[in-house]
Amino acid sequence: MFRNQYDTDVTTWSPAGRLFQVEYAMEAVKQGSAAVGLRSKTHVVLATVNKAASDLSSHQRKIFKIDDHVGVAIAGLTADGRVLSRYLRNECINHSFVYESPLPVGRLVVRLADKAQVCTQRSWKRPYGVGLLVAGLDEQGAHLYYNCPSGNYFEYQAFAIGSRSQAAKTFLERRFDKLDDYSAEQLVKDALFAIKETLQGEKLTASICTVAILGVGDAFRVIPESAVQQLVDALDDAQPRADEPDDEPDDALPAEQPEEDRPPHPDEAAAPAPMDI
Amino acid sequence: MGSRFNPYDNNGGTCVAIAGVDYCVVAADMRMSTGYNILTRNYSKICQLAEKSILASSGFQADVKALQKNLSARHLIYQHQHNKQMSCPAMAQLLSNTLYYKRFFPYYAFNVLGGLDSEGKGCVFTYDAVGSYERVGYSAQGTGSSLIIPVLDNQLKSPSPLLLPAKDAVTPLSEGEAIDLVKDVFASATERDIYTGDQLEVVVMNASGIRREYVSLRKD
């Protein structure tokens, strides 16, 4: 994506009918460290890679409990993610207060999407620079949604966002049609494997990732680090899966990119920009 | 001729709480009345707001319900922000602020908050309708309170809460003795207070957790 004369304002269209500022916001999501989500009929698992800004600092929190039946994982500007999480929590609390029942996740994501859309149509605002994987329950069962800075949202069986997410997506594409019948444990294992894919050779330990699970009758909770480490160890001991992970260089091959060429991003090896983790 | 809409009603009932060395007993009758009629014999006035805080409120139950919901929602927000449960003294202050917020259209609720403080000692806070509160060793609120308090003053062997400086008035009685006393005072209050009776709900909180007990009271 190159600079051009139509990208200063979010309220300026390009001749090709694009809003560059919105697309730049989506870039911020792609630069953030990875987050994956998978769901079965009854459970949803979220997992994130937590990068610390330096060895001295703590890891960024990228998974937030919104309510007993909803949780989110974010990628991109984590500050924006925090603020949106507060909004989501508020919406859930207000709904529970009035209706004495949990806000169905499908309605929650619409409100979030509408909130994001507003920022794409006001000259004095900027789009939120964060993508959210929203895991939640409604009367039908478990759902996973992806909310975009553009104001779009989609429901997914499994999805991955953030840097090197293409590797995880490729892995998930091979098994998404079986996920519906997975048990909770299998979902967690696959989520960890997907996260491992995004690390591309770097060692997966419980200290650099966070895993959370929620399901029908199972309130949202972050799995404790010790339990995650056990699962990670089990993953390492297990036989490599029959389907091999691809070694395609992500972000250089733009499957989701529009017509323009993109220069390969220097983010893989370099430190993350100050705002984005 | 000149009878304005009255936004309040008194649903009657009595609430009691007693703080012990390592436990807290909160009890309330289960009768809900209006005027001289009984609406139900099976209504709980007790609400657990947090892990270590139990609220019992008599008065206008619609206001009580709204107050309980309000506090529960505020507690949820607190948990999201602080990643932990509210302590009982913190909840006590929140309740006071919430009540005073409606100083000029009050919650018609007479509250007694019981629980364990951060040291595991029993604590009881007693309130008026607009949020004035005090930590005490024991308290009663509601239609039967004036029948119960003198008996507790006499039987609990606590230092008098009317002394100054305010002494830590936790009762030296054991948990079982305190519960028996609560059952006795409610039986007595039921005799003379028409709004108290039917059933007694006793909630006991200690280090092992919370348990609930129901005791039958006179139904007349």
Residue the block writes with tokens 């220097």: A266
pLDDT band at A126 (very low <50, low <70, confident <90, very high): very high
- What percent of chain A clears pLDDT 90, i.e. is strictly above it? 75
pLDDT, residue B171, reads: 86
Q: What is the distance between the alpha carbons of residues A186 and A72, in angstroms, rounded to a whole number? A: 20
Q: What are the structure tokens assigned to B40, written together? A: 């139900």
Is A174 exposed, middle or buried, given 0-12, 13-18 or 19+ CB atoms closer than 10 A? Answer: middle
A vs B: CB pairs below 8 A = 12
Asked if pLDDT for residue B198 goes beyond 70, the answer is: yes
The contacts of residue A145 (CB under 8 Å, 6+ apart) are A105, A106, A109, A133, A134, A136, A153, A154, A155, A156
pLDDT band at A242 (very low <50, low <70, confident <90, very high): very low
Asked if pLDDT for residue A239 goes beyond 70, the answer is: no
Question: Across the interface, do B77 and A65 touch by the CB < 8 Å criterion?
Answer: no
The contacts of residue B115 (CB under 8 Å, 6+ apart) are B24, B50, B52, B53, B54, B88, B91, B122, B123, B205
> What is the rounded end-to-end Cα distance, in angstroms, of chain A?
21
Q: What is the distance between the alpha carbons of residues B115 and B90, in angstroms, rounded to a whole number? A: 11
pLDDT, residue B215, reads: 97
Query: In degrees rounded to 5, what are phi and psi of residue B133?
Result: -140, 165
Q: What is the distance between the alpha carbons of residues A183 and A215, in angstroms, rounded to a whole number? A: 11
Question: CB–CB of B39/B11 below 8 Å?
Answer: yes
DSSP element (H, E) containing A125: none
- The alpha helices in chain B, defined as continuous H runs, are 61-82, 88-101, 145-155, 175-192
Asked if pLDDT for residue A270 goes beyond 50, the answer is: no
Q: Would an 8 Å CB–CB cutoff place B207 in contact with chain A?
A: no
Residues of chain B contacting A93 with CB distance shorter than 8 Å: 73, 76-77
Of the listed ranges A26-35, A59-68, A99-108, A251-260, the one predicted with least confidence: A251-260
Q: Would an 8 Å CB–CB cutoff place B84 in contact with chain A?
A: no
Q: What are the structure tokens assigned to A63, written together? A: 């998974």
CA A180 remoteness from chain centre: 20
pLDDT band at A241 (very low <50, low <70, confident <90, very high): low
Asked if pLDDT for residue A57 goes beyond 50, the answer is: yes
pLDDT digits over A148-162, tens only?
Answer: 999 999 999 999 999
Rank A224-228, A232-236, B157-161 by mean pLDDT and report only the highest: A224-228
pLDDT band at A248 (very low <50, low <70, confident <90, very high): very low
What value does the mean pLDDT of chain A take?
Answer: 86
pLDDT, residue A277, reads: 35
pLDDT, residue A262, reads: 42
The A residues from 91 to 110 touching B (CB cutoff 8 Å) are: 93, 96-97
Q: Rounded mean pLDDT of B60-73?
A: 97
pLDDT, residue B145, reads: 97
Residues of chain B contacting A86 with CB distance shorter than 8 Å: 80
Q: What is the distance between the alpha carbons of residues A66 and A92, in angstroms, rounded to a whole number? A: 8
pLDDT digits over B17-58, tens only?
Answer: 999 999 999 999 999 999 999 999 999 999 999 999 999 999
Question: CB–CB of A112/A99 below 8 Å?
Answer: no
Q: What proportions of chain B, in percent to the nearest 5, are helix, strand and coil? A: 30, 35, 35
How many other CB atoms sit within 10 Å of the CB of residue A240? 7
Q: What are the structure tokens assigned to A92, written together? A: 């859930």
Query: When comparing pLDDT for A239 and B54, which is higher?
Result: B54
pLDDT digits over B139-173, tens only?
Answer: 999 999 999 999 999 998 777 777 787 777 788 89
Question: CB–CB of A27/A272 below 8 Å?
Answer: no
In Å, how far is A52's CA from the nearest CA of chain B?
A: 21
DSSP element (H, E) containing A115: helix A105-118
Question: CB–CB of A1/A23 below 8 Å?
Answer: yes
Query: When comparing pLDDT for A274 and A241, which is higher?
Result: A241
Question: CB–CB of A174/A184 below 8 Å?
Answer: no
Q: What is the distance between the alpha carbons of residues B137 and B149, in angstroms, rounded to a whole number? A: 12
pLDDT band at A240 (very low <50, low <70, confident <90, very high): low
Question: CB–CB of B203/B210 below 8 Å?
Answer: yes
Is A88 exposed, middle or buried, given 0-12, 13-18 or 19+ CB atoms closer than 10 A? Answer: buried
Q: Rounded mean pLDDT of B77-101?
A: 96
Residue B131 DSSP SS3: coil
CA B187 remoteness from chain centre: 17
Asked if pLDDT for residue A272 goes beyond 80, the answer is: no
In Å, how far is A75's CA from the nearest CA of chain B?
A: 20
Question: Across the interface, do B80 and A89 touch by the CB < 8 Å criterion?
Answer: yes
| Residue among B70, B72, B80 with most chain A CBs within 10 A, to mutate | B80
pLDDT, residue B41, reads: 97
Residue B45 DSSP SS3: coil
Q: What is the distance between the alpha carbons of residues B107 and B101, in angstroms, rounded to a whole number? A: 10
Query: When comparing pLDDT for B159 and B96, which is higher?
Result: B96
Nearest to B181 by CA among B153, B217, B152: B152
pLDDT, residue A51, reads: 79
Q: Rounded mean pLDDT of B59-87?
A: 96
pLDDT, residue B24, reads: 97
Q: Which pairs count as long-range contacts for A51-56, CB under 8 Å and 24+ apart, including other chains?
A: A51/A208, A51/A272, A51/A277, A53/A272, A53/A274, A53/A277
pLDDT digits over A25-43, tens only?
Answer: 999 999 999 999 999 999 9
pLDDT, residue B165, reads: 79
pLDDT, residue B202, reads: 98
Q: Where are the beta strands (DSSP E) in chain A?
A: 35-39, 43-49, 63-67, 70-76, 130-138, 141-147, 153-156, 158-161, 209-215, 218-222
pLDDT, residue A52, reads: 77
pLDDT digits over A179-219, tens only?
Answer: 999 999 999 999 999 999 999 888 899 989 999 999 999 99
Question: CB–CB of A25/A119 below 8 Å?
Answer: no
How many other CB atoms sit within 10 Å of the CB of residue B199? 18
Q: Rounded mean pLDDT of A2-20?
A: 92
CA A259 remoteness from chain centre: 24
| Residue among A70, A88, A91, A97 with most chain B CBs within 10 A, to mutate | A97
